[in-house]
Amino acid sequence: MDDAMDEDGHISRNRAAWNEWAAKFVEPGEKAWTSPTPYWGIWGVPEADLHVLPEDLDGLDTIELGCGTGYVSAWLARRGARPVGIDLSSEQLATARRLQGEHGITYPLHEGNAEELPFPDASFDLAISEYGASIWADPHAWIPEAARVLRPGGRLIFLVSGTLALLASPDNGDPPTDSLHQDYFGMKRFEWPDWPSVEFHLAYGDMIRLLRANDFEIDDLIEVQPPEDAKLFADHEAMTSLEWSRRWPCEEIWKAHKA
């Protein structure tokens, strides 16, 4: 694969990391594929509580950016959409292909980088990313690409780690505390000790300006608060406690549409 966008090595590092981590995501992927209704983020908050997806998905062309095991696109397909998935990791895509076969829901899966999408302009009605390109790709590259492949009026929905959760995370990679450890101004690229990967996260003003510069109008910013009895969706012990996530948003879901 051509890594033209990879001058700083984040693509090759994230591809290697996700090929290694893919085995741990088989079980959560299998569980999500079997769920008839969508749920979101590390706490698995139901769609009925968050209203992330458009009411009517029937006949929409959708692209999932960093589709991983592919369950989000499976949920979209069950609601009548025509999904396409793209992901950097061949191992994640192998799980997605197997689950497509087992569930009888097949849609195109591409191995590639969401920062340089192999699709023509104005090909899709909805671009979605749940902890996919939304945190592992450079927003100054993937958001313009999402804008390019969306049709006028097309929607962009993406879930990212909560801004406060990142700011409250100590340098040693421990879970967020109740004080701030990271600088807000200039925040973009995050690397944690013992993690081979690179993450990206913009400050609110920078994200708003980036979306607007790419002809997006912002519809919502959902700050996820898990219910009191929430259980972790998968192996995310190191990320945030329920107590923390009940007080501050550990996840944010941006919703926008192309003007």
Ligand X SMILES: C[S@@+](CC[C@H](N)C(=O)[O-])C[C@H]1O[C@@H](n2cnc3c(N)ncnc32)[C@H](O)[C@@H]1O
Q: CB 210 → ligand X: shortest distance, Å?
A: 16
State the pairing for strand pair 61-65/45-46: unpaired
∠ CA(197), CA(200), CA(202), 5° rounding? 165
Three-state DSSP at 248 gives coil
Q: Whole-angstrom Cα distance, residue 211 to residue 13?
A: 26
Taking the least distance from each CB to ligand X, the nearer of 54 and 247 is 54
Are 142 and 117 in contact by the 8 Å Cβ rule? The answer is no
Q: Whole-angstrom Cα distance, residue 184 to residue 256?
A: 23
Q: CB 168 → ligand X: shortest distance, Å?
A: 21
Taking the least distance from each CB to ligand X, the nearer of 5 and 181 is 5
Taking the least distance from each CB to ligand X, the nearer of 31 and 181 is 31
Q: Whole-angstrom Cα distance, residue 246 to residue 69?
A: 28
Binding positions for ligand X, rule: CB under 6 A? 11, 14, 18, 25, 29, 66, 68-69, 72, 86-89, 92, 113-115, 130-133, 136-137
Taking the least distance from each CB to ligand X, the nearer of 124 and 136 is 136
Q: CB 179 → ligand X: shortest distance, Å?
A: 27
Q: CB 237 → ligand X: shortest distance, Å?
A: 16
Main-chain dihedrals φ then ψ at residue 123, nearest 5 degrees: -100, -15
